[in-house]
Amino acid sequence: MGAEGSHTLEPFVNEIANDVIDPQTGVSIKERRYAGSVVNADKVARTKMMGNKNIKLGALGAGSDWSGFLQFLGIASLNLGFGGEGSGGEYHSIYDSYDHFIKFKDPGFQYGVALSQTAGRAIMRMANAEVLPFDINSFYNTVATYVTELKTMLDNSRSETESENKMIKDNLFKLAQDPTKRPQAPQIKESVPYLSFSALENAMAKLMQNAEEFQKEYANATKLPGEQQKALNEILYKLERSLINENGLPRRSWYKHQIYAPGYYTGYGVKTLPGIREAIEQRKWEEAQQNIEIVSKTVDTYTQQVKKAKILVEKKA
């Protein structure tokens, strides 16, 4: 099974994956996914993965119907599917046919059934839940890793730039190259500045505190009176909308989500915290700092909604 989506739904997907049986092996699709992940991982990653069977949702970029819902409207979304040993290579070609599907892709429609069981459970459980199964801690933990990635990326870019500039000044590129081929030596790059992540780090700290406090009380939410449950559910299903910025991302205002977006140059491929990440990649330092502030305010707005949910679940019946 492959799964990508809004990270508030990660524990929800894991619960579903426990209850669907993989048709080839007879174990749960979660167990099959864990086995495949460990076997195919490199040695370093494998050591960290051993024993951790949690399915980590991938982030959504573009490429299917979720894009308008998630990136334009801010509606929590999921993409579920099954894959095998390889992509096959026939996608969007004349070989992408019914005959090819029943012979090579899914003989007997076994995984079509498994996908229906997976998506069907998701729909029924979401529709029938007294309190919506959203997990704020999961969202916080995921975004926190994205922030750490960006800080590491910036530090690495600074080190690489300093090293390459010194090599240019020491004439190493010219001395190492074949002069008969008239190579173009690289040019000195602008130094990488130190950006301030303090506003974003403070916003994330507030989110962590409120997320933890909310999740402690979440189990009691089913005991709330009907009107309070209804009010809580409305906050939960609208949470994702607070991650929308109406001005959109730089140079593409249609993409409004500040946590997930397809990359400007990557087609379907996702970029997380895209406004900051792509500015760093393109060495647009002022734009990167501006987007750190934008994302900080976005996280603060999200946290305000979590606070409202926390107050509701803390109320006594």
Q: What tens digit of pLDDT does each residue of 159-179 get?
A: 999 999 999 999 998 888 888
Domains of the chain: 2-128 (3.40.630.10), 136-314 (1.20.930.40)
Mark out the alpha helices in 102-242 (DSSP H runs): 110-128, 136-169, 172-176, 198-218, 226-238
The stretch 84-97 carries a mean pLDDT of 86
Predicted local confidence at residue 86, as pLDDT: 78
Predicted local confidence at residue 316, as pLDDT: 58
Whether residue 243 is predicted with pLDDT greater than 80 in this model: the reply is yes
Q: What tens digit of pLDDT does each residue of 17-43 get?
A: 999 999 999 999 999 999 999 999 998
Cβ(249)–Cβ(256) under 8 Å? Answer: yes
Tell me the sheet residues that pair with 244.
257
pLDDT over 90, % of the chain: 86
Tell me the C-alpha distance between 242 and 301, whole Å.
6
Which is more confidently placed, 283 or 185? 283
Whether residue 256 is predicted with pLDDT greater than 70 in this model: the reply is yes
Query: Using 50, 70 and 90 to split pLDDT, how confident is the model at 181?
Result: confident
Exposure of 310 by Cβ count < 10 A (0-12 exposed, 13-18 middle, 19+ buried)?
buried
Predicted local confidence at residue 281, as pLDDT: 97
Tell me the sheet residues that pair with 179.
none
Predicted local confidence at residue 108, as pLDDT: 95
The stretch 259-286 carries a mean pLDDT of 96
Most distant pair of Cα atoms in the chain: their distance:
84
Predicted local confidence at residue 152, as pLDDT: 98
Query: Using 50, 70 and 90 to split pLDDT, how confident is the model at 147?
Result: very high
Tell me the C-alpha distance between 123 and 113, whole Å.
15
Spatial CB neighbours of 189, under 8 Å, sequence gap ≥ 6 = 161, 164, 165, 283
Tell me the sheet residues that pair with 227.
none
pTM of structure: 0.94
Predicted local confidence at residue 184, as pLDDT: 81
Whether residue 60 is predicted with pLDDT greater than 60 in this model: the reply is yes
Phi, psi for 5 (deg, rounded to 5): 160, -170
pLDDT over 70, % of the chain: 99
Predicted local confidence at residue 114, as pLDDT: 98
- What is the amino acid identity at position 81? G
